Structure formats: C-alpha cells, structure tokens
Amino acid sequence: MTLRVGIIGAGPSGLAQLRAFESARQKGADIPEILCFEKQSDWGGQWNNSWRIGLDGSGEPVHSSMYRHLWSNGPKECLEFSDYSFDEHFGRPISSFPPREVLFDYIKGRVEKSDVRKYVRFNTVARHTTYNEATQEFTVTVEDLKTNLTETHVFDKLVVSTGHFHVPSAPEFKGIKTFPGEVLHAHDFRGAERFYGKNLLMIGSSYSAEDIGMQSHKMGAASITLSYRTAPMGYHWPANTVERPLVTHFLGPTAHFSDGTQGDFDAVVLCTGYQHKYPFLPSEMSLKSPNVLYPGNLYKGVVWQQNTNLFYLGAQDQYYTFNMFDAQAWFARDVMTGAIDLPSLADREADIQLWLKRQAALPDHDAEADFQTDYLRELIDATDYPPFDLDAVSQLFKDWMRHKHDDILGYRDMLHRSVVTGTMATKHHTRWLNAMDDSMERYLNGPSQDADNGAT
C-alpha cells in the first residue's frame, strides 16, 4: 500500500516537506500519498500575516506574530533555498534585508513553481490525533473551518510543522493590572505608528524586544526602555533608548525595576517569547521545550524518539530558517521512505545527548551559529539536498551580528553575498530607518524615501 503522509501546517516548514517529496518525484521516485492541513486560507505561515489580533475570522487563534514594517531581521543570504535562489525568483539582485512581503513572495514562488498546492487543504485545522500502536497508524481529526464539518484521516507518517512562535508566553507582573495604558504581547503588535510620542516599556531582551523597540523608535516614540531578565542586549542604542533590569512591580503608570530605578510609561509590550503548544496532539507526542537550538527528544532535531513515525520540523530556535527547514524535510522524507536507516533508540538517545551537551556549553552567539551550522551539515550530508557553503553562511551570521552590534539602526543597510549564486546584494534605494513604505512594489520599484534620494 502507498505510504500515507499527513502534514500539519503549510508555513515554510510544511512547504519544505511538500517540496522535498516533489523534488524526489521529479527525480523519478514514487512518492507517498500526501495531505497537508493548513488552518489559514493561504500558505506561508508567519509570513502570511494579518491585521487581526486575538481570533481570526473563523474564531481560531490568529497565527502570525508579524507586523507592518517588518523587514527581515537577518541577511536573506542566510536563509536562501539552495534549489531556488533569489536571483531565480526576482531576476535581478536585491538588497540583503527585504521586507516581509518580498520574502513571502519568494517563499510562494518556489512552491507555486512546484505545483504542490494540490496537496494542501486550506481553512482546515487539525483538532485531535491518536496513534494506534498495533497498526502503527495516526488518526487525525480535522475541522473544515468553512463548513464546520469534522473528518478523520489516517496516516502512516505524521509531520508537525505548526511553528512555535504563535502562542504567547505572557508572565504576570505584580501590579500590572493597575497599569492604565496599553499592555500587549509582541504576538499582538501590528505596527508602531500609534506609539508616536509615547514612552514605551518592552519586557524581554531578544529579537522581538529589539525589533519592536527599534520599530517604535523609527515611528517616533519618545522613549524606549528595554527590561531584561538575564542580560542586557548591549547594542549601541539611540539616545532615547535604555536597558534596565527586570521590572519588579507596577504601580499605576510607574514601572519599578530591580536596580531601584523607576519610570512612567504609556504602553508595555511583553516581548517575553512563545510556548511550544500542540493542542491537536496527545501529551505523549507533544514536544515540551523552551526556545532552544536543540530541543530534546528529537533525533537529528526531527524524529520523535518514542515514535519514529512522527516528525517535527522547525521546532528549534532559529539562526537558519528556510534552508534549515528544507534540510530537515529532506531528512524526514528519507527516513519515511526508508532511504535513511534509523539507529536504535539507545544510539539515537546517545546522539541527542551529544548535541545537548554541546548546546549546554555554547559560550556565545558566534558559537551558536556554528552549532546550528554543524547541525545542518549533518542533515545535508545525509540527503540529496543541494549542498551549499555552510561555513560561508556561518560567517555571514557572524558578520551580521557584528553589524548589529556596531549599528543597530543601520545593520539592515549592509550587503551580503549569496553562497548559492555568488551574487552580491545591491544597496536598497532607501535606508531602513527612512523606509516608511514596506510594500513589495515600493521595495522593487522605488522611489527612494531618503532625503538625499539614497545617493550616499
């Protein structure tokens, strides 16, 4: 009987799985029966963002945490598909840090070319899953959000690619109920325009705090205070931005910090990260992990230890994104089809433990980039995913981190070279700080919004 593969989620990870099978089919392989469920009406995951907050039009939790004026936070050269370059998609060089719509277009371009849309059931949410040990089959109950009808589907292999940056982790802070201004989680942030002239407090010290903080600066916020739990980010912030240790409590509009300082704020943005949540899976198949580069219990970061018919894609914290999801999907595909033999449970566990041990000792961000690079190398070496110069990409990550350190408002104006095509990015017509139109049309066709017309 033909293998039946279910995929939950058609974001970049789920699309990577579709693409992996399509690539095998194009090379003449017989491919399984594939069915992918996507609760939104289009694919692209986080990149298919929405103006909505809370619940979407079907009453489901809004998935995307992305917002207006979101520009890539890492060089596009670090995430380039090795089988579908930016040059191929856009037909000309572009800058290294495009806005969301441009990357969304790029993701879509590859799958549209591959004719894999037929495998996706849109507006269909996975609700419940059981596994029958005797038959080794998953039964997945899904709901068609247009008709509200539920159906069950039976699969031999199940791929979980629902992402892990959509269920907010929102801690309680003493007295926060007395704060009279707006309190929101980064998941519900849709744009910083309304923070013009306001005094903002961001809690958290990672990507969201940094980017929402600097978006707010760009849109004219009066001041930005970033409150950290473990360590400050330590960038050379603009003059209106400071870092403070963790808030101890709120009293009305005043936040008190653990160093004894305090400040009055108009709004608080909880940039406190996300939870791994898989409400459609039973607990014994559900990944529980903080946001780390190597979650435990997944062999090669992909295969569920206690049930090797179950796969997770994109469950890691991410330096690499699209190309890592590809490498994982190619690996998962080859495990499913038997092209890769899995070692014993004990040997898999020993491998996981080696990675966890190495992860625990990572001294800095450069080492983290090398760690994820080595992880990708193992996956790519094991499959026919088109290889690319991983060490060069690791260096790009390090250059990018250096640029951020030197100039947090200017790092997106830097240029990087593609390791897939060798093409050097072109300077964008508008510096990031001045770019107030993030549409693809404006991005590709200008004109510049720099006062000097981008001449310098």
User: Which residues in this chain contact ligand FAD in the complex, by CB under 6 A?
Assistant: 8-14, 37-40, 45-47, 63, 65-66, 72-74, 79, 125-126, 161-163, 165-166, 280, 314, 318, 321
Minimum CB separation of residue 293 from ligand NA7 in Å reads 11
**Measured distance CA(392)–CA(426) in Å, rounded:** 19
In terms of CB distance, is 39 or 166 closer to ligand NA7? 166
* Residue-wise DSSP of 227-274: EESS--------TTEEEEE-EEEEETTEEEETTS-EEE-SEEEE---B
In terms of CB distance, is 257 or 280 closer to ligand FAD? 280
Minimum CB separation of residue 412 from ligand NA7 in Å reads 14
Which of 230, 283, 306, 456: binder of ligand NA7 (CB under 6 A)? 230
In terms of CB distance, is 164 or 333 closer to ligand NA7? 164
Half-sphere exposure at residue 392, Cβ-oriented, CA atoms within 13 angstroms: 13
Minimum CB separation of residue 155 from ligand NA7 in Å reads 29
The answer to whether the CB of 173 falls within 8 A of the CB of 249 is yes
Annotate 348-378 with three-state secondary structure: HHHHHHHHHHHHHCCCCHHHHHHHHHHHHHH
The answer to whether the CB of 271 falls within 8 A of the CB of 246 is no
Q: Per CB under 6 A, does 195 bind ligand NA7?
A: no
State the Rg of the chain over Cα. Answer: 22
Which of 78, 145, 186, 200: binder of ligand NA7 (CB under 6 A)? 186
At 47 the three-state DSSP class reads: helix
Which of 246, 339, 340, 440: binder of ligand NA7 (CB under 6 A)? 246
Minimum CB separation of residue 168 from ligand NA7 in Å reads 9
State the binding string over 210-229 for ligand NA7 (x if CB under 6 A, else -). Answer: -------------------x
In terms of CB distance, is 96 or 318 closer to ligand NA7? 318
State the binding string over 134-173 for ligand NA7 (x if CB under 6 A, else -). Answer: -------------------------------x---x-x--
Minimum CB separation of residue 209 from ligand NA7 in Å reads 6
The answer to whether the CB of 428 falls within 8 A of the CB of 417 is no
Annotate 97-125 with three-state secondary structure: CCEHHHHHHHHHHHHHHHCCHHHEECCEE
Which of 85, 139, 141, 206: binder of ligand NA7 (CB under 6 A)? 206
State the binding string over 64-103 for ligand NA7 (x if CB under 6 A, else -). Answer: ---------x------------------------------
Total site size for ligand NA7, rule CB under 6 A: 19
301 binds, among ligand FAD, ligand NA7, none (CB under 5 to 8 A by kind): none
Which of 289, 291, 395, 423: binder of ligand NA7 (CB under 6 A)? 291
In terms of CB distance, is 72 or 418 closer to ligand NA7? 72
Task: Give 116's contacts (C-beta < 8 A, 6+ positions apart).
Answer: 15, 18, 19, 21, 22
The answer to whether the CB of 187 falls within 8 A of the CB of 61 is no
Residue 218 dihedral angles phi and psi, to the nearest 5°: -60, -35
Minimum CB separation of residue 37 from ligand NA7 in Å reads 23
Two tokens, residue 87: 């040059």
In terms of CB distance, is 81 or 228 closer to ligand FAD? 81
Minimum CB separation of residue 1 from ligand FAD in Å reads 25
The answer to whether the CB of 273 falls within 8 A of the CB of 291 is yes
Segment near ligand NA7 (CB under 6 A); pick from 101-109, 191-199, 201-209, 355-363: 201-209
**Measured distance CA(208)–CA(198) in Å, rounded:** 18
171 binds, among ligand FAD, ligand NA7, none (CB under 5 to 8 A by kind): ligand NA7
**Measured distance CA(308)–CA(349) in Å, rounded:** 13
Two tokens, residue 210: 């940094």
Q: Per CB under 6 A, does 207 bind ligand NA7?
A: yes
**Measured distance CA(123)–CA(63) in Å, rounded:** 13
In terms of CB distance, is 116 or 414 closer to ligand NA7? 414
Residue 393 dihedral angles phi and psi, to the nearest 5°: -70, -40
The answer to whether the CB of 222 falls within 8 A of the CB of 197 is yes
In this structure, the strands spanning 254-257 and 247-251 are: antiparallel
In terms of CB distance, is 139 or 248 closer to ligand NA7? 248
Q: Per CB under 6 A, does 272 bind ligand NA7?
A: yes
Q: Which residues bind ligand NA7 (CB under 6 A)?
A: 73, 165, 169, 171, 186, 203-208, 229-230, 246, 271-273, 291, 318
